[in-house]
Amino acid sequence: MSLPLFWHGSFDERPDASLYLITTQNWLAGAGYSYLGTPFVIRPPGFPVLLAPVLASFGTSFAALNLYVSLWGVAAAMLFFAFARDRVRAPVAGALALALYLNPLFRELSTQVMSDVPGLALFFGCLLLERRARRRSSARGDVLAAIGIGLATWVRSGNLLIAPAVIVARFWKHGFGAWRSLLTYAIVPPLVFAPWWVHTARVEVPEPAVQTFLHSYGTALFHEDVGDPASRRLDLGDWWERGGERVREVLPGLGGRLSVTGEGAEADLWLGLLALALVAALAWRRRAPAEGAALLTALVLSLYFAYRPRLLLPVFAVALLAAAELVQFAVARWRGRAWGDAAACALLVALAAVDFRLPDREGIAAEERSFTLAADVVARDFPDAVVATAQGWQLGVFLPGRDVWSLQRAFMRSGPSGPRAVVREQGVEVCLFDRTKPLHVAIRQSLADALESAGRAGDWDLYLVQGAPR
């Protein structure tokens, strides 16, 4: 019933969303899981597999794609409710699901072609499977849950952290007496995911990466240049500096309920620390894998090469549950069970009311129209030309079947010489730049003496590359 309020039919562009779409389009076209003719090894293809039926049935229909991801958002909220109901009773679980569902970032991600919301649904689905197997002492159930964790990892790599969380929780409760289940969760999820590791180890991709943000996650985690595996490996001092920087981002992000504004960062930092302390306290008290997985996720993010609030989504959901449990327990001890439930519900409904906002439909649609206009001009006036822009994945979504080369990464790594090298090596004939974006302007200026104006398309300036074959 709520979907008409939040759903929209426009492409809310994110780099990851564009890459998911292009790699899925290439796969459906018979070019394999690839980007610009190169195997795509940055992310496993689980989410593209989930997208493929929608793209095959409706083409690049953003209305259909956004509705599809929105339904995953509904599933995530329902699975969160099912998981929480066992701990806080149905009314509070319903309020928890509402608070998650109306979180602004959750709502935004639910109408973008991103894997975060489907990944969260699978996160709670795996935890429900594990809990069912644990309560029934079912070896078969453990195998199914472990397989589920492995499959969920193909969609969101962070879901693999559920497995060690289960192992720690089982060992903490039962010691080596639970050795069969410990082995199940230690072996099966990595085994299910192992084909991806084998594939990425065998294929060759350009070094350093010029057309993607990073070369691989291993390079991004352990090297100074996220796109160059030959760059200097990080030392202990680098890790310490990175950890301090990430903690100052992760804690306010959690305390600010995944806010991306950065407002109230000091208070949010302490709220984030309190939230993690609550999760840790519940992990100690319950010895359950949900809190363990949340803490492991927070630990990984504290040493991660980049911070994005969306990466905290499972931590936020578990922390929200921990806060509801604390309020319910404290008030129930003071005034009784009904008051405890009412207090927790009131807090969560208040959070949901504060967070409630509708999407900026017109702003998102205007951005899509800008890309569409530029792509239409290229398709009409330069149907066979080799095309480049600052961030090629953006226009690539709107020019399916055509390679659109990116100049941003080369510019950031090598300065003005970087875009010139890409233009030369790829035989670029036409360049497009959005005059409203400083990065586009800077790259255009670095190529100024090699460009000849070829008109405009809305905010975009088109240029022919001098000396390029026509």
Q: Model confidence over 413-423: pLDDT tens digits?
A: 889 899 999 99
Residue 209: pLDDT band (50, 70, 90) is confident
The verdict on 370 and 226 lying in the same domain is: no
- Continuous H helices in 427-465: 438-446
In a domain, 252, yes or no: yes
Band the pLDDT of 213: cuts 50, 70, 90: confident
DSSP of 318-375:
HHHHHHHHHHHHHHHHHH-HHHHHHHHHHHHHHHHHHH-----HHHHHHHHHHHHHHH
Fill in the amino acid letter for 46.
G
**The predicted structure's pLDDT at residue 178:** 86
In a shared domain, residues 214 and 322: yes
Q: Per the domain annotation, does 266 fall within a domain?
A: yes
pLDDT reported for residue 237: 92
Judgement on whether residues 82 and 198 belong to the same structural domain of the protein:
yes
DSSP 401: T
Residue 278 has pLDDT above 80, yes or no: yes
Residue 228: what pLDDT? 87
> Does the pLDDT at position 286 exceed 90?
no
Neighbouring C-beta atoms of residue 210, cutoff 10 Å: 24
Helix ranges restricted to H, 40-138: 46-58, 62-101, 104-109, 116-136
Same domain flag for 370 and 338: no
Res. 261: pLDDT tops 70: no
pLDDT of 263 reads 52
Q: Residue 463 forms beta bridges with which residues?
A: 431, 453
**pLDDT for res 468:** 59
Average pLDDT over every residue of 334-353: 91
470 domain residue, yes or no: no
pLDDT score recorded for residue 313: 97
Q: Long-range contacts of range 182-188, CB-CB < 8 Å, 24 or more positions apart?
A: 184/139, 184/142, 184/143, 184/146, 185/142, 185/145, 185/146, 185/149, 187/146, 188/143, 188/146, 188/147, 188/149, 188/150
**DSSP state letters, 186-243:** HHHHHHHHHHHHHHHHHS---SS-SSSS-S-HHHHHHBSSTT-TTSPBP-HHHHHHHH
Please indicate, yes or no, whether residues 278 and 421 belong to a single structural domain of this protein: no
Residues 297 and 410 in one domain: no
- Alpha carbons within 13 angstroms on the beta-carbon side of residue 140 total 0
Per-residue b or e along 331-353, where b marks 16 or more CB atoms closer than 10 Å to that residue's CB:
bbeeeeeeebbbbbbebbeebbe
Tokens for 334?
A: 């003071």
Query: In which domain, by residue range, is 35 found?
Result: 3-355
Instruction: Tell me, yes or no, whether 154 and 242 share the same domain.
Output: yes
Each residue's pLDDT tens digit, 47-66: 999 999 999 999 999 999 99
Q: Are 251 and 301 in contact (CB under 8 A)?
A: no
Answer whether residue 275 shows pLDDT above 60.
Answer: yes
Whether residue 270 sits in one domain with residue 221: yes
Distance separating alpha carbons of residues 414 and 227, to the nearest angstrom: 12
| Bond preceding residue 208 cis, omega within 30 of 0 | yes
Residues 345 and 381 in one domain: no
Distance CA 353, CA 103 (A): 10
The reply to whether 154 and 178 lie within a common domain is: yes
Strand order across the beta sheet in which 460-465 lies: 404-406, 387-389, 430-434, 460-465, 451-457
Query: How many domains, in total, are found in the chain?
Result: 2
Last residue within a domain, chosen from 334, 355, 376: 355
Q: Of 310, 327, 355, which one is at a domain's C-terminal end?
A: 355
Structure letter (DSSP) for residue 391: S
Mean pLDDT of 115-124: 98
What's the alpha-carbon Rg for the chain, to the nearest Å? 24
Same-domain status, 341 and 371: no
Q: What pLDDT does 208 receive?
A: 86
* Segment 395-407, tens digit of pLDDT: 999 998 899 999 9
Out of 355, 390, 425, a domain closes at 355
